[in-house]
Structure 1
Amino acid sequence: MTCRQLGGPCDLELSGATADEVIKAQDRHLREAVAAGDSAHEAAHEEMKARWRRPLRAMGWYRDTKKAFAEQPSR
């Protein structure tokens, strides 16, 4: 899946064996991009941090992401 598919601003491909691994890769990518001064990723980074602070609200995003991951073609 790409950063954009997960709510970010770019098309960097993130990979993992499970949806959880891809989500963790996205979190890491957003943190690293913002730390490197990439302002385009700031909004997505803040959104990611807010998800972890409000887990009940984030469950909808999480379910949607897991579904989208399952629908990705195998590589």
Structure 2
Amino acid sequence: MKTMTCSQLGGPCTQEFHGETADDIIHQQDQHLKDAVAAGDTAHEPARKDIKGRWLHPKKSMDWYNNTKQAFANLPVD
């Protein structure tokens, strides 16, 4: 199990996400951003917009994804 924060994934806060894979953590952060924006948290809106728009640019999105997976791989196990 490893831990990453919302800010490590491009978000504005220190909410921690725990998972066995980078994909686990990415999914948790996606849900966190959805929930925060739905609750009216404007600080999370730019990150949510980035995630929604990221897949419109496949090269950029794959760079982000691969960088996130590498950052996850470099983390120590909790």
TM-score norm. by structure 2 comes to 0.91
d(CA) in 1 for partners of 2:5, 2:58: 23
Write out per-residue CA displacement over residues 13-66 of structure 1, whole angstroms, 9 at most, x where no aligned residue. Answer: 011110011001110000000000000000000001011333332000000000
Which stretch shows the higher mean deviation, 21-30 or 45-54? 45-54
d(CA) in 2 for partners of 1:11, 1:58: 23
Q: Which amino acid aligns with 2:62?
A: M
Residue in 2 that maps onto 1:18: 21
Task: Choose between structure 1 and 2: higher strand proportion.
Answer: 2
TM-score norm. by structure 1 comes to 0.94
Which runs of 5 or more structure 2 residues have no equivalent in the other structure? none
The secondary structure found in structure 2 opposite 1:14 is strand
Residues 1:47 and 2:62 aligned together: no
Q: Which amino acid aligns with 1:52?
A: W
Task: Choose between structure 1 and 2: higher helix proportion.
Answer: 1
Q: How many residues align?
A: 75
Report the Cα offset of residue 5 of structure 1: 0.1
Residue in 1 that maps onto 2:36: 33
Matched-pair identity in %: 56
Q: Which amino acid aligns with 2:19?
A: G
RMSD of aligned residue pairs (Cα, Å): 0.9
